[in-house]
Amino acid sequence: MREIIIWGGTGHSKTVFDNLGDDRKLVSAVFDNNVNVTESPIRNVPLIHGSQFNEWLSSRDDIKSIGFILAIAGGNGLARKEVGRFLCSQNLTPIDVISEKSIVAHDVISGKGTQLLAGCNVGANAKFGDYCIVNNNANVDHDALIGNYCHIAPGATLTGEIELGENVFIGAGSVILPRIKVGSNVVVGAGSVVTKDIPSDSIVYGNPARIKGEV
């Protein structure tokens, strides 16, 4: 890549930028669709509103040499899906962010746009779909099967043989016990301990975690 853009102008953009290592020098712009985001989160990198993206892109000579990183965190997996699909349709390339400070087993398989951030530990034979985030100091143990657009927040622990559907958010400091299956479109609140399978479209939290609502 000759140039990298970050889509998402809030706190997570700082995190992914910090995890880029030497590639930080390739970041040329931060984009965000939110008009309330008015200042770039990254020093010396301009913030550009999403409505100006096409104009910006038309000024580039080699579009296929531009990579993108989705700094859309929290439980916004479907937003990562839609923005990623749009940017790929414009012939940009999704970039993986694999921190030098992460510990990743040799046989991990990941989809496009994966983020494995500082201090995270990913065990043997773990598999990830597209645009997944394993945030700072999170742990994903052996044989995990993680669907598209999932986010494992800082300090969360997924023990062995976990299965997550698509668009699952695991809150900070949560623990999911071995061989648990979690459906799609699920939010697990921070600090929860998940001891049973969770159906799709659920909001759960507590110790032990219980269903508290629907997504």
Catalytic residue (one of 12, 49, 106, 142)? 142
Helices and strands in the chain, H and E counts: 3, 23
pLDDT of residue 116: 99
Mean pLDDT, residues 129-138:
99
Mean pLDDT, residues 106-128:
98
Tell me how many degrees the CA angle 162-163-169 measures, rounded to the nearest 5: 95
Mean pLDDT, residues 143-171:
99
Mean pLDDT, residues 22-29:
97
pLDDT of residue 160: 97
Domain map (residue ranges) of the chain? 3-94, 98-206
pLDDT of residue 25: 97
Does residue 106 carry a catalytic annotation? no
Read off the pTM.
0.96
Residue 153: C-alpha distances to residues 106, 149, 159, 203 (Å): 23, 13, 14, 15
Q: Among 182, 150, 127, which residue's Cα sits nearest to residue 77?
A: 150
pLDDT of residue 4: 98
Q: CB burial class (10 A; 0-12, 13-18, 19+) of residue 39?
A: exposed
Does residue 106 have a known ligand-binding role?
A: no
**Average pLDDT along the chain:** 97
pLDDT of residue 47: 98
Residue 64, C-beta contacts closer than 8 angstroms, at least 6 positions apart: 91, 93
pLDDT of residue 97: 98
pLDDT of residue 57: 97
Mean pLDDT, residues 28-46:
95
pLDDT of residue 201: 98
What's the pLDDT band for 204 if we cut at 50, 70, 90? very high
pLDDT of residue 193: 99
113 Rama class: left (phi>0) / alpha (psi -120 to 50) / beta: left
Asked whether the predicted pLDDT for residue 1 surpasses 90, the reply is no
Does residue 12 have a known ligand-binding role?
A: no
Q: In percent, how much of the chain has pLDDT > 70?
A: 100
Mean pLDDT, residues 123-131:
99
> Residue 152 forms beta bridges with which residues?
134, 170
pLDDT of residue 85: 98
pLDDT of residue 196: 98
DSSP string, 11-58: HHHHHHHHTTGGGGGGEEEEEES-TT--S-SSTTS-EEEGGGHHHHHH
The 10s digit of each residue's pLDDT in 47-95 is 999 999 999 999 998 998 999 999 999 999 999 999 999 999 999 999 9
For β-strands 186-188 and 168-170, DSSP reports them as parallel
Mean pLDDT, residues 178-194:
99
CATH 3.40.50.20 fits 3-94, yes or no: yes
Architecture field, domain 98-206: 3 Solenoid (2.160)
